[in-house]
């Protein structure tokens, strides 16, 4: 039996085209989109302003199917993590971080990750596949539903003057499992839904894509759907970054910095955020900090220093608090806005770099890693 089309896979243009191919007018697609995303509806019978004949046709031909939560875990600090089934024994994780003035949802884009950054738990699990657009936006759909989000009239503003759709989730970051720009088309479809007033109505400033530095895809994102950009930097020179972030061997720092400057031509914010995980004795010296200042001197930016979150057999340790403060001080003295991320959800392995989920590794990385550990034992 043929698998029904999942309407969560379409942004507004795709849904309009799908409806048009069946003789339906564009406003019908937008009606259904509002029911799906603004109100979290999956039952076509409940879409009361849609013609009954169309509702019956949709119920026979298509579905609205978000990922299902296998596990729902809440940290002592209120951080909430979901393990989501994406089929064939694969599962990904999404994390909601509540704060006083906002709620941030961290979303995954792949089952595993092929980039194998040295300090990341996700990468050690290997890679299975890209998530579909439905599986990506479905994380926002499901989290909003489970957190009790509601829709408000179009045009409403929050305390900062940003569009307010009345939902508990005010910010979305593509910083979960996977490299978002390695799944470009599906990620951009999901981004367009996050921004669309018929769906979630988030502003471009409140949606962030994090990348390890796939330069051609950064340029495409600038041209097709510029949102806030975060770059996983983690080293001030190519020699160290080649070891920590292997994609640097293909797109070295000179090319990455140039891509950041190009991105800012169309970005919704006037700076790039550089993420920098603090690894004890590896990348956290005063000399490293001064080298960073020189590296980014022509790139308007802010730094987000991330104390390393340990996981089994990582081989790294977390920089000491005083070392992080001194490192931050050098950046601040150079006039660079610098914050140190507060570790959230580490008691349930929901902190940065700890997301692992369940991955049926097609790269055989886990097999090679286990054999290497056995050989060293």
**pLDDT-based confidence at residue 149 (cuts at 50, 70, 90):** low
The predicted pLDDT at position 362 comes to: 72
Specify the pLDDT at position 316: 92
Q: Consult the annotation and say whether 234 binds a ligand.
A: yes
Query: Is 210 within any annotated ligand binding site?
Result: yes
Mean pLDDT check: name the lowest of 140-144, 147-151, 178-182, 190-194. Answer: 147-151
Q: Is 138 annotated as a binding residue?
A: no
pLDDT computed for residue 158 by the predictor: 53
372 assigned binding-site residue? no
Predicted local distance difference test score (pLDDT) of residue 204: 97
Q: What is the largest CA-CA distance in the chain?
A: 69
Q: How far is CA 25 from CA 18, 42, 54, 134, 189, in A?
A: 10, 21, 11, 23, 21
Q: pLDDT band for 243, please (50, 70, 90 cuts).
A: very high
309 is in an annotated binding site: yes
Q: What is the CATH number of domain 5-63?
A: 1.10.150.530
For 255-287, letters b (16+ CB in 10 Å) and e give ebbebbeebbeebebebbbbbbbbbeebbbbee
**What is the pLDDT, as a whole number, of residue 367?**
41
Would the annotation count 171 as a binding residue?
Answer: no
Q: Does the annotation list 165 as a binding residue?
A: no
pTM of the model: 0.89
Residue 107 CB coordination number (10 Å) = 28
Active site residues: 93, 352
Q: What percent of the chain has pLDDT over 90?
A: 74
120 marked ligand binding residue: yes
Confidence at 100, pLDDT banded by 50, 70, 90: confident
CATH number of 68-376: 3.20.20.70
Q: How confident is the model over 249-260, as pLDDT tens digits?
A: 999 999 999 999
Judged against a pLDDT cut of 50, whether residue 296 lies above it is answered with yes
What confidence score (pLDDT) does residue 262 get?
Answer: 98
Confidence of residue 122 (pLDDT cuts 50, 70, 90): confident
Q: Is 187:179 a contact under the CB 8 Å cutoff?
A: no
Q: What residue spans in the chain does CATH classification 3.20.20.70 cover? A: 68-376
Over the chain, what is the mean pLDDT? 88
Number of Cβ within a 10 Å radius of residue 17: 12
Delimit the CATH 1.10.150.530 region(s) of the chain.
5-63
């Amino acid at each position: 039996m043929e698998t029904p089309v999942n309407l969560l896979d379409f942004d507004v243009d795709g849904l309009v085209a799908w409806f048009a191919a069946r003789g339906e007018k564009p406003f019908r697609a937008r009606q259904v989109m509002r029911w799906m995303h603004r109100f979290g509806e999956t039952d076509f019978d409940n879409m009361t302003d849609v013609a009954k004949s169309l509702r019956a046709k949709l119920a026979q031909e298509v579905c609205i199917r978000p990922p299902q939560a296998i596990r729902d875990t809440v940290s002592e600090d209120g951080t909430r993590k979901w393990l989501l089934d994406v089929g064939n024994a694969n599962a990904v994780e999404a994390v909601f971080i509540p704060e006083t003035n906002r709620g941030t949802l961290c979303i995954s884009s792949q089952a595993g990750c092929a980039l194998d950054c040295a300090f990341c738990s996700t990468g050690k699990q290997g890679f299975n596949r890209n998530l579909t657009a439905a599986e990506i936006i479905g994380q926002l759909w499901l989290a909003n539903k489970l957190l009790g989000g509601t829709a408000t009239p179009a045009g409403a503003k929050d305390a900062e003057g940003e569009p307010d759709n009345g939902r508990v989730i005010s910010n979305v970051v593509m910083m979960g499992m996977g490299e978002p720009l390695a799944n470009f088309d599906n990620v951009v479809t999901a981004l367009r839904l996050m921004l669309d007033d018929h769906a979630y109505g988030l502003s471009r400033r409140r949606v962030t894509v994090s990348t390890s530095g796939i330069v051609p895809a950064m340029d495409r994102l600038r041209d097709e759907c510029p949102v806030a950009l975060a770059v996983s930097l983690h080293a001030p020179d190519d020699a160290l970054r080649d070891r920590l972030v292997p994609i640097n061997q293909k797109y070295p720092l000179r090319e990455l910095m140039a891509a950041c400057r190009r991105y800012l031509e169309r970005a919704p914010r006037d700076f790039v955020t550089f993420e920098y995980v603090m690894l004890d004795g590896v990348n956290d010296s005063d000399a490293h900090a001064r080298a960073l200042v020189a590296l980014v001197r022509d790139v308007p930016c802010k730094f987000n220093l991330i104390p390393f979150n340990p996981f089994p057999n990582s081989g790294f340790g977390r920089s000491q608090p005083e070392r992080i403060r001194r490192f931050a001080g050098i950046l601040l003295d150079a006039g660079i806005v610098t914050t140190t991320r507060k570790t959230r959800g580490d008691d349930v392995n929901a902190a940065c770099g700890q997301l692992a989920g369940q991955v049926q590794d097609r790269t055989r990385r886990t097999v090679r890693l286990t054999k290497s550990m056995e050989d060293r034992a």
